[in-house]
Structure 1
């Protein structure tokens, strides 16, 4: 079910070297891990991982997304929002976007992914290069209404391949942090 994205102040996306606030080591580890988040979630969930699509459609991209993809403000792109789940719990809210023209020329059919992980596809295709990871406190208003929470950490990075650029943002939900607590390993 689509959700409205109200006009809000765009957050400042920062690379690790520009972070002013010290973060807990576990938070830094998850936010700036260069590997596949999908693979890490599969491991954490002991193979009880799934992807649940929330929204997939052509729509105007947010200004911060247009800037990150070097597009004119208001450009139309494919928007895919999903939950990455462990043991049925939403651990990550992910939003992936790409410009219409780039997708039409790039041969990637984001509209056909369904419950498959885009991240796994990106990490299996060696032609994609990943730009630096940026993080911010993701605006609650940009989240689906059932997870509108202030102060959640989000990260994003751009993946490029032969003129095709995808921007992938991942927001770390409270259930993920609960699953990473050492006391849960004995449950």
Structure 2
């Protein structure tokens, strides 16, 4: 079986979003975690067109157990997994991992499987019926990251992230976004 992630060495421990959690997060982390719009749009409002997507991993594989549960996928069902780094002038801003079940890709008329270097947010926030179903938060120590991710993200301290279950035409997809210092520095 292929590795479940090029970024992560293990499945993160995710916390359910609950009342009061926002106030226990550092202000910059809360600002990004609870951003309701496109993170790409927010990054571009600061960095302009310097924000680019570097594709790190794009293939079908079996998601982590909690990802399968959130998406309602059977144990051996493969999903399209896309891991990318959003960066500006080679400064890492966000590492992202998206899990897309086949039915979601079909419902979105295959737009999701052919993103290339287009940011996912540009596509999914263009759907008028996009729904946000669930939000979870994690803080990953450097030991949870692969050696490649440590290098790409210049990770040397714990990294905060969020994972969001979205629905397009009532079909789910899962987006994990991890905030690098370059993003957290933006007000």
TM-score bracket, shorter-length normalisation: 0.7 to 0.9
Tell me, in whole angstroms, the C-alpha distance in 2 between the residues paired with 1:130 and 1:9: 22
Structure 2: runs of 5 or more not aligned: none
Q: Deviations over 1:48-107 (max 9, x none)?
A: 211111110001111121111122234310001111112331100011111124323542
Specify the alignment match of 2:183 in structure 1: 176
Specify the alignment match of 2:73 in structure 1: 71
CA apart distance, 1:136: 0.8
The counterpart of 1:13, out of the listed 6, 12, 15, is 15
Tell me, in whole angstroms, the C-alpha distance in 2 between the residues paired with 1:80 and 1:9: 16
Shift in CA distance, 40/105, structure 1 to aligned 2, threshold 3 Å: closer
Shift in CA distance, 160/121, structure 1 to aligned 2, threshold 3 Å: same
Is residue 141–residue 158 contact of structure 2 (8 Å, CA) maintained in 1? yes
Shift in CA distance, 72/36, structure 1 to aligned 2, threshold 3 Å: same
CA apart distance, 1:156: 1.2
SS in 2 for 1:155: strand
| TM-score of the aligned structures, taking structure 1 as reference length | 0.82
Structure 1: runs of 5 or more not aligned: 182-187
Bigger CA drift: 155-164 or 119-128? 155-164
Aligned length: 178
Shift in CA distance, 47/9, structure 1 to aligned 2, threshold 3 Å: closer
SS in 2 for 1:116: coil
CA apart distance, 1:132: 3.4
SS in 2 for 1:27: helix
Specify the alignment match of 1:135 in structure 2: 137
* Aligned-residue RMSD, C-alpha: 2.5
CA apart distance, 1:121: 0.8
CA apart distance, 1:139: 5.8
The counterpart of 2:164, out of the listed 157, 167, 172, is 157
Tell me, in whole angstroms, the C-alpha distance in 1 between the residues paired with 2:7 and 2:44: 31
Tell me, in whole angstroms, the C-alpha distance in 2 between the residues paired with 1:118 and 1:9: 22
Is residue 127–residue 168 contact of structure 2 (8 Å, CA) maintained in 1? no
Q: Deviations over 1:105-126 (max 9, x none)?
A: 5423333111101111111111
Is residue 14–residue 136 contact of structure 1 (8 Å, CA) maintained in 2? no
| TM-score of the aligned structures, taking structure 2 as reference length | 0.82
Shift in CA distance, 83/10, structure 1 to aligned 2, threshold 3 Å: closer
CA apart distance, 1:35: 1.2
